[in-house]
Every structure is written in C-alpha cells, then in structure tokens.
Chain A
Amino acid sequence: MAQTPSRTRENRQFRFPQGYGDNKIVLLARDPWWVFTYWEIRKANEEEAVRKIEASGDSIAKSVLRVYDVTDVSFNGKNARSYFDIELRGLATNWYINVGSPDRAWIVDIGIVTKKGSFYPLARSNMVKTPRFGMSDQLDAEWMVPEDEYWKMFGLSGGFGVGKGSLEVREMIKKRLEEQISSGGISSAASFYRKPGERKFWLVVNCELIVYGATEPDAKLTVQGKKIDLRKDGTFTLRFALPDGKQVIPVEATSKDGIDSRRITPIVSRKTE
C-alpha cells in the first residue's frame, strides 16, 4: 500500500473489540465437508454454569463444542440424529469443524462436560446446512428421462464426456474445482494463472545513450534528420535505447535566418559480449 487514508479523527484510533459482550456462537458452512464457528461467552454465564456444576457435586472435565446432526429434525436439544464433541484447548474463539457429510444440517453447542459426563451448554448456534455434493436422488416426474440420460447430460455439463459412474464423476468435479478455472478477482491484485517463473540469480544489462547539447534558442535543430524542439534556453536532450551495432548521429543546427549552420556527428558503437 502506498499511503494510509488520512482520517480527521486521528485521536480515536479504532481497534476491533476483543468481544461485544455477547453470549453466542455462530456457525457458517464452508463447503460440503467443513463448517466454521466463532463464539463469545460471557464470563457471568460461564461462572453460573460452574456454580451449578459444583452445586450438584460434580466438577468440570473439559470445554467442548458439541456438534449435532439435526438433518430433518426440529431440534430441541435432545433429538439430534447424532452428535460428537470437540475438546477445546487454549484460548480458541473459533474452530473449523470437519463434519464430513454434505447435505446435512448442523447445530453446535459450546459448553462444559463434567467428570460425571453431564453437559452444560453455554450457547447454541444457528443451524447451517452443508452443500449437497452429488446428483440428487429426487426425480421430477414431469421431466423424467432414463437413468443413463441423466448421467449423459451430467458428463457433458462437467466436460467429462459420457458414460461415467457416480463416484467417478464426483471425483472429477472435485478435481475440476481445485483447478481454479474461476474468478481471477481484482484486476491487478490477483494472481493470474501464469505466474512469473521462479527465478534464481539473474542479471540484466541494457544500454541507453543520452545525446544533449545547446544552440541558439531560436535555431532549427535536427538529429538524424528529425526536427527536434529546443528548450527555451536553447538546450536539448535526447535519449535512445542503444542496440548493438554502429549509430551515426548527425546533429545539425541552422540559424533562424537560415544563413549559419553547424553540423556535428557523433558515431557510437555498442558491442555486447
């Protein structure tokens, strides 16, 4: 970045808060196999849970994320199809969870598991659905065709050719998606597919030639036959990329009235070894 945008309120150097004082957990679907969650738990809520646990003669074993598969159920905390726990360590405030199953609905609780095995939830997330990965089994009576016709269209759409089976095509789609035949993003910030080659040690040498001089400010000047504009004080500067070989550079000045003229011809040669 070149510059940092100036702000009129410099005195209020804004920083993102560590927390917003909320007690909540939010769940996002990243892809068919992974979900992401972040959370913020109020200290008071945590302390209250601890008090309850201790009052019941139990003690804390660990903090966990409890991941519920709630596909096609209206979740009430007890009716998940299945669940698993992820033990939280350190000061994590977010987590990527490998749920491993496309097209399922998920809810996550953050909470405390006790030594006796009870679970005290501190917050419950929203529900997300992992994207479906694979052709739907649901058929549309109005648009029905034989099974292999569906697969044919599927293969043609994906550029895989025809006659591939379900598993094979899924693998091919996964592979295609990883090839990133997709958005390049912001025009110059993005890395396009053709990255400059990895370079090791290198050296580049080029030559340029500066031809400069001066004459009467109102004189006419040509260099290699081409008319050159003089600066107000009669000076001039020309810059040339200098290739290998010989350059003959006649510089000719003629006075305004056309009576006087001078010609100087530098000869320059470059040879690169």
Chain B
Amino acid sequence: MLKGYLAIVLHAHLPYVRHPEFDDFLEEDWLFEAITETYIPIIKVLAGLERDKVEYKLTISLSPTLMSMLMDPHLQYKYLKHLDKLIELSAKEIDRTKWEEAFNKLAHMYHTLFWEARHIFVDEYKMNLVNAFKHFQETGHLEVITCCATHGYLPLMEVERKASVRAQVRVGADLYQKVFGKRPAGIWLPECGFNPGDDEVIKKEGIRYFLVDTHGILFGTPRPRFGVFSAYLTKNGVGVYGRDTESSKAVWSAVEGYPGDHNYREFYRDIGFDLDYDYIRPYINADGVRINTGIKYYKITGAGGHKEPYVPETARARAADQAGNFMFNREKQAEHLLGQMGDRLPVIVAPYDAELFGHWWFEGPQWIDFLMRKIRYDQKTIALTTPGEYLKIYKKYQVLTPAASSWGWKGYSEVWLEGSNDWVYRHLHKMVERMVEAANNNRNAKGLLCRTLNQMARELLLAQSSDWAFIMKTGSHVPYAVERFREHAEHFTELYEQVKQGSLDEEYVKWLEDKYSIFHDIDYSVYSTQ
C-alpha cells in the first residue's frame, strides 16, 4: 500500500566562466570536469532508465549560467578538446600500467568512459547537453526547473530588493522558457536563500514552487501542520517545500554519509598529482600547475595515507546496497508518518548539489540508478514524485510564510557575509541603485543606448553570482573571484557613466557583448521601478 512519496532534487550549477582569450583557462575546468564526471553520467543513467522503460521521477535544476555555458559553442569546442586529451592520456595509461593489473583495468575503464562521454556529447546531443535534459523532460520523467539568473544570493539584496530579485528570477525563467518552450514549474533559490516577500516576485514570474531548508518551513508562520512532509502555499499562492533532514544526512553527513564508504573511489588521489611531472605535463594546466585529471586509481580504503587500488565491481555493489538502504529508510519514514498526516500522504524532499554525484562521489550516479529502479520494482510503500506533481494531488495546502533561511553553513547568510567578502555588498548595492536609476531615466531606449543598458544589466547580474563571495570565503581561487567581481563592477561603472554623460561607445559595448556572451535577450527594463 502506498504510504508516501519521495522527491529527489538535484541542483546543478556552476558560475559563468568563459575566456576565449585563452586556449587553456584553469577555472574553465570546473565545467569540463562536471560535464565528464556528473552531467554525462547522469544523462547515461536517465538514458538507461528510458531504454529499460523504467518509470521514474527526478527533478533537476539547471542554473541559467550553467545552461548558458552548456549551450555556448566556444565552450563546447573547448570541452571536446579537453576530452580528446583525456582520451589520449587514458590510452597512454593503458600502456604504462601494463605490468600492474589492478591499475591497468582501471585505465581501461577510464578510457572507455571517456570514449562513451565523447559519443554522448558529440553524436547523441550534438555538443549541446541541454538537449538531453530537454529530451528527458519530454518523456515525462524528469522535471527540469530553473534557478536565479546568475545564482545571486537573494537574502542580501537589501537595496532595491524587488527590482534586484525580479531581475534574477525573470532573466533565469526567460532563458528557461526560450530553451524548454514553457515557464519553469519551479525555481531553486540559490543556496536555498529565502527572504519573506520574495515569493511575490516568484509568483509574478509564473513559477509555481520553490524549495527552502528544513528550518525555513519549521520556523514558518503560522505553525506548520505537516512538518516538512507536505507542500505549503505562501500568501501569494506559490508552493514551497522544506528539505528533509534524515535523507539529507544519509548523503551529506561526514559521519554517516554514503560517499565515505571505504570501497568508494578516493577523490584526493589523482594521477595529475601522483605521476611523474614530465609525463603528466601535457595534461595539466598550461602554466604547469598540477591539477586533477579525473583519472584516479585508489579507493578510500580508510583513514590515513595508505590507499589500495579501486575495485569498480565492489564499489558498484556498495552503491546498490546503499540505494537499498536509502529506500528502506524512506519506507520506514513513510510508515512512521502514517496516521500523522490527516488527509494526505507525506512527501519526503531530498535535495542535493548535482556535482556531488559523480564528481565528488564517483558512484553517486550509479546510486541514483539503483535507487530509481529499486523504488519502481522492489517495494510498494513509497513512490517517486516531483515537487510540481505533488502540488497537483491535493485541493488544499496550508498557507504559510517560510522563515528567512538558507542551506548554507549555520543556516543563514554567514557564508556570504563575513570578514572575507562583506566588502562586496557596498558595491553591489550601489550598482543596483544605479541600474534602477538608469532604467527609470531611459525608458524605451532604442539602438545603442538600449544595448548599453542591457549590457549594464548583464554585468550587474554577473557580479551578483553568489560564487564570488563563496570562493572568497573558502579560500581557493580567491584571486579569480576577486578579479571577476572587480571586472564586472568596472564595466558596469564605465557603461553607467557613458549613459549618464550620453557618450556611448559602440565598440566597447560590442566587445563586452562578445566577451561573456550570455543572456542575449535580456531586457534592462526589468530593473525599472516606475
């Protein structure tokens, strides 16, 4: 007997990094690694489920910056080059490891994986992986949702809040609509950062639901009747879901989390760092800095430095066991909730960063694959759903205002507002203020003025990425984050002065339009408050 629903939500996002001025740019590897290790493996899982006619439900949010990069011809071309080098390296590794059987098998595994990735990327999706997600959405099994335009962290947009939030939401939803042909059902708020009132903007943009962390619902007003186990509606009639703690812990927790299993692949032993420098030199960064190649031969093994060779078959069996364990625990959870839920069945919402699966947790995509299949065939207690579908089941949902919250460390804004990064808000707020002023003073602009105002909006949005503040806090790649923030502020300010003084510079605008090449259809009037 059906006792509850499970909604797995993956949030896929990377900041917009694109540098045509360099053949090889370190931070572009974030995208390339994620494509090979996360997006393509997930696509492979979904294709397998489709081939085997498995009924499944999964939700993925694709951030507009990630979508834009996946659709960008320059980055597609660069990714292919990157992948071809990996194919070459893995072929060399097959020869080099000839006398070490355990590693030789793994070299063959990587070589096969990279060739498969190439086939999927080039032959099946013609270099544009967004088409894959579009296809799976059309099969009715995948719910693709959107995110804010550049993953701007909404709670700290205190100055001109409405215009700021509206631009982040609308530009994201518009890109989604252009690609998927309809308004997105839901939106992933960057870092689950919610500020009461932002739901009004979400509603106006035609989006039906968003997600918050557990305490966003638990501390909501009035008191929630169903904990996090039902959808709620905000006063504006937008659906909202809270994250389930138990299922989050199972995957995220350092102590209990699945990815820490000793049979799983060790992330921190990569041949980019382990092998002889001269040998690996052509496959690391152009400036000679060692980087992860993605070829990793060891399993976690245990604490301490000693590592043993990775055994894919054993790891796969563990992924299957853990998927079974996860399913079993959700069944128990649903049974436990039975009788507490009045007229409805509970929904357990389990959101994760997509890049956890495959990139960090190599076996993560297999785990998803097993989970989808097991839930379909091995039990009848729970069923998969999406937040969009659960909202259609019942006639009424309790009305509630979620509490301000995020899913960052300590649950609020401290990650993005602390000693290392608090200096950015002074400038971000000024930029928004100026953007609103320029939009109000130049309504219905045409021609170059319009292009200049649109470019201002792009620079502002790019400066607002939560990633820059996040990187400043976490400490690696800091100079890049600071430079990007500085760069967008510079261009924004220059354009603002040009508009104010009426001295437009077409060549400059053209250069900027090409440089990052994002949000081609943006309309600066989204910032107008009149």
* Residues of chain B contacted by A212 (CB below 8 angstroms): none
Say which size band chain B's interface belongs to: 35 or more
* Residues of chain A contacted by B517 (CB below 8 angstroms): none
Dominant SS among interface residues on chain A = loop
**Among the interface residues B14, B218, B333, which one has the most CB atoms of the partner chain A within 10 A?**
B218
Stretch in contact with the other chain, from B50-58, B319-327, B423-431, B442-450: B423-431
Within 8 A of B (CB), among A147-182: 149-150, 152-154, 156-159, 173, 176-182
Q: Give complex CA distance A142, B279 in Å.
A: 70
Contact A31/B425 with A142-B398, A192-B360, A194-B260 known, Cβ cut-off 8 Å: no
Question: Residue A26 contacts which of B245, B412, B429 (CB distance < 8 angstroms)?
Answer: B429
Within 8 A of A (CB), among B205-249: 213-215, 217-229, 242, 244-246, 248-249
B432 vs chain A, min Cβ distance (A): 11
Q: Is the CB of B159 within 8 A of A177?
A: no
Q: Is the CB of A177 within 8 A of B410?
A: yes
Does A29 interact with chain B (Cβ within 8 Å)? yes
Within 8 A of A (CB), among B394-428: 398-400, 403-405, 407-414, 417, 422-423, 425-427
Q: Give complex CA distance A202, B413 in Å.
A: 39
Q: Is the CB of B471 within 8 A of A189?
A: yes
B28 vs chain A, min Cβ distance (A): 10
User: How many residues in A have their beta carbons less than 8 Å from beta carbons of B?
Assistant: 86
Within 8 A of B (CB), among A239-259: 239-243, 247
Contact A178/B409 with A29-B155, A131-B219, A135-B223 known, Cβ cut-off 8 Å: yes
Does B122 interact with chain A (Cβ within 8 Å)? no
Q: Is the CB of B103 within 8 A of A241?
A: yes
Does B520 interact with chain A (Cβ within 8 Å)? no
Contact A131/B286 with A5-B21, A136-B222, A157-B228 known, Cβ cut-off 8 Å: no
Q: Give complex CA distance A142, B223 in Å.
A: 11
B258 vs chain A, min Cβ distance (A): 12
* Residues of chain A contacted by B49 (CB below 8 angstroms): none
Q: Is the CB of A135 within 8 A of B218?
A: yes
A41 vs chain B, min Cβ distance (A): 13
Q: Give complex CA distance A144, B305 in Å.
A: 56
Question: Residue B214 contacts which of A9, A94, A158, A242 (CB distance < 8 angstroms)?
Answer: A158
Stretch in contact with the other chain, from A12-20, A44-52, A62-70, A81-89: A12-20
* Residues of chain B contacted by A231 (CB below 8 angstroms): none
Question: Residue A196 contacts which of B21, B191, B228, B268 (CB distance < 8 angstroms)?
Answer: B268
Q: Is the CB of B414 within 8 A of A31?
A: yes
Q: Is the CB of A241 within 8 A of B100?
A: yes
Question: Residue B100 contacts which of A14, A36, A202, A243 (CB distance < 8 angstroms)?
Answer: A243
* Residues of chain A contacted by B226 (CB below 8 angstroms): 153
Q: Give complex CA distance A193, B300 in Å.
A: 13
* Residues of chain A contacted by B337 (CB below 8 angstroms): 156
Q: Is the CB of B221 within 8 A of A94?
A: no
Stretch in contact with the other chain, from B110-118, B375-383, B479-487: B479-487
Q: List 12 A-B contacts (CB under 8 A).
A: A2-B22, A3-B287, A126-B158, A159-B246, A180-B409, A181-B248, A181-B249, A193-B252, A193-B253, A239-B279, A241-B103, A243-B99
Binding site for B on A (CB under 8 A): 1-9, 12, 14, 16, 20, 22, 26-32, 34, 36, 38, 40, 94, 126, 128-129, 131-140, 142-145, 149-150, 152-154, 156-159, 173, 176-194, 196-197, 199, 202, 206, 208, 224, 238-243, 247
